[in-house]
Amino acid sequence: MHVEEIRWLRRGACRSSDPELFFPLAPTPAQEARAKAVCAGCQVLRECRDYALRAGEAEGIWGGLTPEERRRSRFPEGWRRPAAS
Ligand code: SF4
C-alpha cells in the first residue's frame, strides 16, 4: 500500500475511533454494526470502499463493508459456474 494511495484516510471518521472496532480479533455482529455506523457518516466512504476492493484488503471494515461483503462484491454468486454453451 502506498501512502499516496490512502491519503484520504486522514479525513476518515474512524480516525477518532478505537481501532479494535474496525480490526477486531473476534468480530461480532454488534461490533460490525457499530463500525458500519461510523462509516455511514464518513466523508471518504467512497474512496475507502473503492480502495479496499481494488487492493483486496482481506481484514477489517473498510468503506462500510466487512471482509465477507467485499469478497461477495468482487466475486458475485455464481461467478465460478461454467458459461452455458
Ligand atoms: S469509510 Fe469507514 S473505514 Fe473508511 S475511512 Fe471512513 S470511517 Fe474509516
Would you give the distance in Å from CA 68 to the centre of its chain?
9
Confidence of residue 1 (pLDDT cuts 50, 70, 90): low
Pocket test for ligand 1, best of 5, 44, 65 (most atoms within 8 A of CB): 44
Average pLDDT over residues 20-27: 93
Nearest residue by C-alpha to atom 8 in ligand 1: 14
Question: Per DSSP, what are the bridge partners of residue 30?
Answer: none
Show the beta-strand stretches assigned E in the chain.
none
Q: Is the CB of 38 under 6 A from ligand 1?
A: yes
pLDDT per residue as tens digits for the range 54-70:
999 999 999 999 999 99
Q: Ligand 1 pocket, 65 CB below 6 A?
A: no
